[in-house]
Amino acid sequence: MDIDELDRYLNENQDEILWNYEEKNGRGVLYLHSKKWEETIKVDMSRINKFSEDEISRALSGGKNVEQITRVTGFFSKVSAWNKGKTGELKERYKSNVV
């Protein structure tokens, strides 16, 4: 993940993730905190390119084994079984809160 991808990821998840950036001993350190899972991870910015969005999301869930399912055309399916195109469509869907 590069800086632009990280910026987009944090903006897309601003309701779920708190973050703080600090300089320590001449190195940039990013702290990410999941509001949902109450987990905080520390990322050395010199190593951010070694991480993907999925790896950061898994780390923020505290290693909990979370299965995402969705209902499409009347049936439920595990998102982990979907191909790359289908998961891309899921990420582009409009999400709203129903009260």
pLDDT tens sequence for the chain (99 residues)? 888 999 999 999 999 999 999 998 888 999 999 888 888 989 899 888 888 888 888 888 876 666 677 766 677 778 888 888 988 888 887 776 765
- Classify residue 97: in a domain, yes or no: no
- What residue has token string 């509001």? 35
- Classify residue 99: in a domain, yes or no: no
The span from the CA of 19 to the CA of 44, in Å, is: 13
**Domain total of the chain:** 1
- Classify residue 56: in a domain, yes or no: yes
For residue 78, give its domain range: 3-92
Bridge partners (DSSP) listed for residue 27: 24
- Classify residue 15: in a domain, yes or no: yes
Give the torsion sign (CA, 32, 41, 57, 36): negative
- Classify residue 27: in a domain, yes or no: yes
- Classify residue 43: in a domain, yes or no: yes
Q: What is the structure's pLDDT at 36?
A: 83
pTM of the model: 0.57
